[in-house]
Amino acid sequence: MAPKKLFTLFAKAEAVTWTLLLAALLLRFFGVDTLVVTIAGGLHGAVFLGYGVTVVLTGINQRWQLRRILIGLILAVIPYATIPFERSLERQKALDGIWRTASSSDPRDSKTIDRLFRWFIARPVVLVALLVIGLTGLFAFLLFLGPPTEWFSN
């Protein structure tokens, strides 16, 4: 799957899960079981983490400036902001191209992060396995911490 297709998929999925989460919160307000919020929140959390990984991988592959990668990550916490960001990137042709699995004559290809990135992109099974294990661990840790609204309350 090309970077553009993967990024678009996660940007739209992030918006869909925002809708599910907001609808679940509204339903809870009207007395529906809180399990709905737990399920919608879990789905949104998983897609949120996947979107974050996708922003970083796509940003490195497309040689975005760190500022653009950080903006993409920050916009994930604003409901529906991933869609205009994705459309802006599309207009700027910032998502075009294939995954960089081989070194080129570009001097940036000799950097450690680029070499490591190409190694993982050339081995998608290893990359996906590592991401699944890492994101599952992170997701489990966040579930252990509880809802974000309770992280700093005593």
Q: How many domains does the chain have?
A: 1
Q: In this structure, how many other beta carbons lie within 10 angstroms of the beta carbon of residue 36? A: 17
Across the chain, what does the average pLDDT equal? 91
Residue 65 in this model has a pLDDT that exceeds 80: yes
Element (H, E) at 130: helix 124-145
The tens digit of pLDDT for each residue in 107-149 reads 888 888 888 899 999 998 998 899 889 888 988 888 888 877 7
The tens digit of pLDDT for each residue in 23-42 reads 999 998 888 888 888 899 88
φ, ψ at 135 (rounded to 5°): -70, -35
pLDDT of residue 94: 97
pLDDT, greater one: 108 or 13: 13
- Residue 101: CB partners within 8 Å, gap ≥ 6? 118, 121, 122
CA atoms within 13 A on the CB side of 46: 10
Q: In this structure, how many other beta carbons lie within 10 angstroms of the beta carbon of residue 30? A: 6
pLDDT, greater one: 111 or 5: 5
CA atoms within 13 A on the CB side of 63: 11
Domain that holds residue 77: 3-150
pLDDT of residue 106: 86
pLDDT of residue 154: 62
Mean pLDDT for the stretch of residues 29-57: 90
DSSP assignment string, 12-81: HHHHHHHHHHHHHHHHHHTT--THHHHHHHHHHHHHHHHHHHHHHHHHHHTT--HHHHHHHHHHTTSTTT
- Residue 63: CB partners within 8 Å, gap ≥ 6? 108
Residue 76 in this model has a pLDDT that exceeds 90: yes
